[in-house]
Amino acid sequence: MSNSKNDVEEIKSLLDNTITQLSVLSARLNVIQSMVLGVYKDTLPLEDYKTIYTRFVNEIEKDSTDVLNGLDGILFDSGSFLLRQKYDLHEAMSRMKNDSNYLPSK
């Protein structure tokens, strides 16, 4: 029984570390994204910025969808959890596509 308790504690520690590292990485990526898009917005003509922003949004959507689809069958709970992640991605992409800087497809 002691071995199981140690295993659980080790898993908890690994999860805490993973969550912490992902949170820090996410914060760094958000800063980089804001800085890069901010520089483009401040230095480029508006139409050029809109083109870059649109490409950025489209690439995030494509890559994120591919990653989420690749997790199916890998995660312990790939059913409802993964479906929720896909829904959240769709919502986030919809918000970004509703931004006035997003150029809809012609």
pLDDT of 41 higher than 90: yes
Contact yes or no for 41/49 (Cβ under 8 A): yes
pLDDT value for 31: 95
Residue 52 pLDDT > 70: yes
Residue 78 per-residue DSSP state:
-
* CA 95 remoteness from chain centre: 14
Alpha helix positions (H), the chain: 2-43, 46-71, 80-97
Q: Would you put residue 104 in left (φ > 0), alpha (ψ -120 to 50) or beta? A: beta
Neighbour count for residue 57 (Cβ, 10 Å) = 19
What's the mean pLDDT when you consider all of the chain? 91
Percent of residues, the chain, with pLDDT higher than 70: 97
Region 42-58 average pLDDT: 96
Is the pLDDT assigned to residue 51 strictly greater than 90? Answer: yes
CA distances from 85 to 64, 88, 92 (A): 10, 5, 10
Write down the domain spans for the chain.
Answer: 1-43, 45-106
Average pLDDT over every residue of 58-87: 88
Q: What is the pLDDT of residue 106?
A: 62
Angle formed by the axes of helices 2-43 and 46-71, to 10°? 160
Report whether pLDDT(25) > 90: yes
